[in-house]
Structure 1
């Protein structure tokens, strides 16, 4: 069993995933005709992984508690989480360069007629929920999408874009192998996980052909 993460670290993990959103959207913007040459050069020369968290009271979520892609227990805006204004007011600022805030209209415009798949563990699911709520700003007609074995996802009809999440605890194939029954142990509770590091997990390998873009993120290799 994986060690349990202390609860006081959850807000920092959420902030880390938001930084990933900025990174992904900014890389996408490099390929848009509307990006200026100077802005593109600035982003392309930027090291997104060196910087600091900056407190900015004007930095608030792009979406509200009406987003339909939240689970009720995860909707910290609707549930009025303690110190919510403090948590929402932090943004990641790379050292020596400007990282623009994600533009949901631009992202969906670039991804038009494409399918985007996220693969990973529960942290990736938290990331995706926020991401879907941000993208819904550009298309309020977005609806839930759970085909192809996806745990969670959305379809944006205005842009014909599907964004979904597939849970994969490991990116490699793994299988539980119980020990041979012994005297007094008959329930199969003892055993090992066999991991084939050179074989992809079925959870994402079987659906890879559906997606035009796939992003992998997991804390369990």
Structure 2
């Protein structure tokens, strides 16, 4: 666009007599420049949901090209917007659902409203996931999710979406994983390992707790911050990619004051004792 602007200016210098026509050309260049600058910001707020036809066989053969963004994208900074036209890519019959958490089948209220929320990052366009492209890019790889139920919920939704690209997808539960899926068409494995704190933790009754002040304690949950949880560490060599989450369990609703988390490092309590937010 900068080249076009320079070309217009130089043309004016060569033909000063045609001033009106030159000014019209300059105005057109300016409008094009302004439009190209404003359009990316407009797209952030006008991202139409992709229909199910987006995942047709035609799109399997011709993957969509990534959208070029001139402004650096921060997927973690943005806002939730309501998109009444948004619809989930799977239904209650997805075999990866947990019966107790199958909101479609259990007729949870306000599901239409819940499904209408969409995350819009700041300064960039986030298109809906294309399961064909994703699985093709992850061909012959294994992906592991480690964390609490938030990661597990995400995993279930993720597996149901990826299943659109491989009807032969089946449940997978090995290497100590709680659950997972295998996609034979792409030789891709996706698994989930439950480790709510990520670090090793264990219950210790009050009499065994190595603490100076035990007033009001029934016991503690010792957390060795420098020792990863055995639930997932043994499987690290199996996965090519690991996705971690934690946070939901770091609160008094999970570990009240009479049975708190106490943090250890190098086999000794960390002093002064850390609260949950500091840890």
The partner residue of 1:199 within 217, 227, 233 is 227
Decide whether the 8 Å contact of 1:172 with 1:198 is kept in 2. Answer: yes
The partner residue of 1:215 within 243, 262, 271 is 243
1:36–1:156: structure 2 CA closer, same or farther, 3 Å change rule?
A: closer
Structure 2, gaps ≥5 residues long: 1-62, 209-216, 251-279
Q: 5 Å matches for 1:14-53?
A: 36=65, 39=67, 41-42=68-69, 45-53=72-80
Q: TM-score, normalised by structure 1?
A: 0.75
For the pair shown, which has the larger CA radius of gyration, 1 or 2?
2
The partner residue of 1:147 within 159, 170, 174 is 174
Runs of 4+ in 1 over 4 A off after TM superposition: 34-37
Does residue 93 of structure 1 match 2:102? no
Decide whether the 8 Å contact of 2:74 with 2:122 is kept in 1. Answer: yes
Q: 5 Å matches for 1:165-184?
A: 165-180=192-207
The partner residue of 2:94 within 67, 70, 84 is 67
**1:159 matched to which residue of 2?**
186
Which structure exhibits the higher relative contact order, with contacts defined as CA atoms closer than 8 Å and separated by 6 or more residues? Answer: 1
Q: Which deviations, in whole Å up to 9, do the C-alpha atoms of 1:27-81 show, x marking residues without a partner?
A: xxxxxxx6747x2x42881111222211112211111111001011211112222
Shift of 1:141: 1.0
Q: 5 Å matches for 1:128-139?
A: 128-139=155-166
Instruction: State the secondary structure of the residue aligned to 1:208.
Output: coil
Aligned equivalents of 1:44 and 1:147: distance in 2? Answer: 42
Q: TM-score, normalised by structure 2?
A: 0.60
Decide whether the 8 Å contact of 1:43 with 1:98 is kept in 2. Answer: no
**2:276 matched to which residue of 1?**
none
Does residue 55 of structure 1 match 2:55? no
Q: Which deviations, in whole Å up to 9, do the C-alpha atoms of 1:139-184 show, x marking residues without a partner?
A: 1111111111111101111111100100002111122222338xxx
Instruction: State the secondary structure of the residue aligned to 1:180.
Output: helix
Decide whether the 8 Å contact of 2:202 with 2:222 is kept in 1. Answer: yes
Instruction: State the secondary structure of the residue aligned to 2:237.
Output: helix
Aligned equivalents of 1:77 and 1:110: distance in 2? Answer: 30
Aligned equivalents of 1:42 and 1:80: distance in 2? Answer: 40
Aligned equivalents of 2:64 and 2:107: distance in 1? Answer: 37
1:154–1:175: structure 2 CA closer, same or farther, 3 Å change rule?
A: same
Instruction: State the secondary structure of the residue aligned to 2:79.
Output: strand
